Every structure is written in structure tokens, then in C-alpha cells.
A and B are shown apart, each in its own frame.
Chain A
């Protein structure tokens, strides 16, 4: 099992299967699952993003969904102003990065619980601002987006198109995460998580590296938010409540902090399970989703506190 998991072809096989999925699902009339798949993918992106802050650098962030919101609203506003879809996505990433960097500059001197509380506060401030800034965001009534369907040649179904775009974004994000993790930069982040003072005295400029991890996180959230807005063609502040931040933190913790496969599995389990239940059993089951969510968290915490797929360190060749 472990060998299979670490085989070098495993990611590619999984990617191919995931890419083929919407076409298979279309054939067996399970279009609903493609939609679910897309949502899972968005949360995978969010999880991979938060993994930089929480998994690598060990900084608790309970307001991460705010940056999903910034991405979504930046896209909506840019497209309303006439920007093409691709440009809107780029803008979403850039604006989210900038907001995140500014926040990081002001709050990263805080640690642990204090940082968690302040980020939580920021998450709420962001949502309330969006809710009340009628001139820019149209407040609680939400914003409509013009359709952007760049993958029309692959499928007429927008759900399939966005599923595939999100899948591509997840794949690229995984590669980027993996490459940074396995480098001087990634080692510095993990060293900071493990022991900040020892990291400082090993020559790592801790403040700068924390800010870097914190900021980079937002690129993934911004991209996810942009894709979400374009897919739904509608954004409202309702989508970015505190609960969603908790969900992203749970994905990272449950999957295994600092573990890329862990984040993917965490999103699959936590985001995929409730709609799957609803699909297979009956619509009533969705009322029990928080019960199952809690049950999963309790079981994992009891029996596998390091996460479902905890990160494993790279083994070096020691002979020679």
C-alpha cells in the first residue's frame, strides 16, 4: 500500500482517472457528481494554500476563507468592468496576494493562539466589509458575472469545463507545493515550524520566511475564489462564512499537516462525503452532515492524530 502510494506513476494515474471522470459520469447520468467533484477541487486548492501557512510554517489561520472571498470578488468586479476571464483570474491572484501580504506584515509578530484569533477576526471583517460595501460589491444581494466558458470545445456542460479547469489548477498547485517543500525554502519553513529559535540561529530570517509562506498561501485561495465565481456566475457574502474557514483548517489537519496527499484526501473526505450521502441515500441525509463531519474528526483525532496521510520526510541515499 505504502509502496503503491509513493510510486512515481501514482500521481499521473490518479490525474488521468480524475480527468476522465466527468466523461464517464456523463455516460452514466451522474452529472451531479461532476459538480461535487468541482467543489472538492476548489477545497483542495484552498487546503493546498493553507498548507503553506499551517502545514509548513505552522501558523494557525482561522480566517483563510476571506482570501477565497477576495479572489471571488476581485474576479466579479474585474469582469463587470469588462476584463476577459483569464485576466480576471490573474488579477484575482495578484490582489489576493497583496491583501494577504499587507495583513501578514501587520499581524505576523503574533504567535499561536493569538494569531488564530486575529486571523479569525480578519475573516469576519472581510465578510462584513463585502456585505456592506454596496457601491463595489452590491452588498448582500450579491454580484452577477457574465459567462466565461473557455473549454467549450471539450464539453458543452459548464460543470465539466470548470471541473477540468479546477483539476488542472489542483495539479499545478501540487507540483508547485512539492517543489517548494523539497527545497531550501521548504526546509526553512519546516524548521521554523519545528523550532523557531533554532531556525533563527541556523541563519534563517524567520520573519521574512513566515511572511513568504503566509503570503503564498493566498495565491491558491485567490485562484480558487476566481474559478468559483466564474463557475457559479454569482457571488454573495453568504459563501464566505467562518464555518468555511474551519472546514479548510480541518481538511489540512485531518489529512495530515504539511502533507500534499493528505490535503487532497482531507478535501475528498470532508467535502465529498455529505453530497455523496445525499446522492446515494436521500435528500434528508444532508441534515446529518455536521454529525458525520464531527464523527470523522473525532475518529481521526482518536485513532490517527497525525492525520490520514501524514507527511513523510524524503529519504536520502546515504551510501557512496
Chain B
């Protein structure tokens, strides 16, 4: 079991059906440690559903999803997070009425342990842990460039900052794999470029990144590898340059020539 495969994540024949609709079907893919992999595909191709199965939001109909040598399909979200998979959302989901700093502190939940008695009695261990949580949260805010906005309520942050805050919150759980669902959606070119830089910095921390992305410029720029989905099925995989030249990919996006 231990050294059979060296992939960080290995997905075998994964499927999620909703009644007769095969949102994701027969997906096989592997992700190596330290890679930045993009998943692209037309709208409704099943990208987000695939991510939702991966992170435990949906149980998945069939197949395997092996992370660091353990099967994680069908496990609880919080369990999967604790194993080292964190994610952000296509439509930003922050804790709107908490401060930026608190948002990141919540992200530490799975890596900390103080429960009722510690907080109630304000024990030494509790104070120590709180200090560590706060310290790490501040460090992460600085990492994504939001340190000065730490006391702002998340709902009051500008759009680009909210995206970054989600990444900081996800990083607080010390993931091995970070899944970003359309991180540059709705951003202008400068903001996108900013985010690309941030994603590289994240990878340089030793975190593998898997992202869904629509902006081809970003995909070409950032990805080590690209995986293409259409109608819930993987139709192509490879280096960015190879993928854009692939006939099936062009067909999926633009339709068949002469049709």
C-alpha cells in the first residue's frame, strides 16, 4: 500500500450521477506532488462537480479517489480537510460577519484541539494555542498581502481581497493539496496576474495546486499540466501547448469544423 504509487492524488473511474444525469463519469487522473494542474472545459462540463466529489461535498456514485495512499471518497468534508485537502469556492464563501483575521483563524480548526474546558477555564494550554492560531493567521494574511485589512469584516473587503482571503483561510489548514475553483472569475487582467503570482507562491510553499480556470491566458501561464473535461468525461490531458492543439478540445469549445 505504501510505496505502490507516488502520486499525491489518484482518481480512478470516479463518477457522480444525479438520477440519469452523468455529471461526472469515468474520470481517471493523477496529480504529482508540487504540480500546478488546471482543469478546463466548457460550462457544465462537470469541473465543479468533480471538485465537490473530491472534497466530500457530494458522496460520488462510484470510483476511487486516493489521496496520499488513502481512499477518501465518501468521507466527511472535515475529515478530508484534516487529511490535507483544502479548497476555495467559485462563488466566494467567506464568513461575512467575521473579521479577515477570524476567517483565517477558523481555517485552523482542524489542526487545533482546545475544547470546552480549555476556553471556559482559560487554561495555559488554551492561551498558548490561541496565540499560535492568531500568529499563524496573521502570518498567512501577510502572505496573501492582506495584513492591513485583518480587522475588517470579510463582507467589507474588495472583491480581489476576498478571493485572496479565501486562499489564506484554506492554507490555514496546512493542506498538501489546494483546490481553487475559478480563482480569477470576475477579475481584471491586473488582478488576475496578481493572483497568478500568488498561486506560484503557494506552490513554492510546497502545496500542490489544482485549479479550475476559464481565462486561457492564466491557464497557459501557470499550469504544469492541463486536464480538459467535457460532458463529465475527461477528453484530454497534457502540457498546456499540447492541449490547445488537441482536436477534441477545439471541438468541445468551438464545435466541429464544417458542422
Q: Interface on A for B, CB 8 Å cutoff?
A: 176, 179-180, 182-188, 190-191, 194-195, 197-206, 212, 313-316, 318
Q: Which of B147-155, B203-211, B229-237 contacts A (4 or more CB under 8 A)?
A: B147-155
Q: Which B residues touch A316, using CB under 8 A?
A: 99, 101, 134, 138, 150-151
Is the Cβ of A188 less than 8 Å from the Cβ of B122? no
Bound CA span A316–B95, Å: 17
Q: Is the CB of B78 within 8 A of A204?
A: yes
Complex CA gap A182/B172 in Å reads 19
Complex A-B, nearest 5 residue pairs according to Cβ-Cβ distance, in ascending order: A203-B110, A183-B119, A194-B95, A203-B81, A198-B93
14 sample A-B contacts, Cβ–Cβ < 8 Å, listed by A number: A185-B119, A187-B106, A191-B95, A195-B96, A197-B89, A198-B95, A201-B87, A203-B81, A205-B76, A205-B78, A313-B97, A313-B99, A313-B102, A314-B99
Chain B residues packing against A (C-beta within 8 Å): 55-57, 76-78, 81-82, 86-87, 89, 93-99, 101-102, 105-112, 114-116, 118-120, 122, 126, 129-130, 133-134, 138, 147-148, 150-151, 153, 169-170, 172-173
CB distance from A50 to the nearest CB of B (A): 19
Give the nearest-CB partner of A204 in chain B. B109
- Contact A185 B116, CB 8 Å, known A201-B57, A201-B87: yes
Name which residue of chain A comes closest to B149, CB basis.
A318
C-alpha gap A256/B77 in the complex (Å): 31
Contact between chains at B150 and A318 (CB < 8 Å): yes
Give Cα A315 to B149, complex, Å. Answer: 11
CB neighbours of A197 from chain B (8 A)? 57, 89, 93
**B78:A179 contact, CB within 8 angstroms:** no
**Contact between chains at B95 and A313 (CB < 8 Å):** no
Is B173 touching A195 in the complex (CB atoms < 8 A)?
no
Q: Are B114 and A202 in contact (CB under 8 A)?
A: no
Contacts of A198 in B (CB 8 A): 89, 93-95
**A243 CA / B121 CA spacing, docked (Å):** 36
Given contacts A183-B130, A313-B102, contact A201 B77 (CB under 8 A): yes
Name A192's closest neighbour in chain B (CB-CB): B95
- A202 & B110 in contact (Cβ 8 Å cutoff): yes
Judging by beta carbons under 8 Å apart, are A184 and B99 in contact? no
**Distance (Å) between the CB of B141 and the closest chain A CB?**
8
Please, how many angstroms separate the alpha-carbon atoms of A318 and B57 in the complex?
A: 35
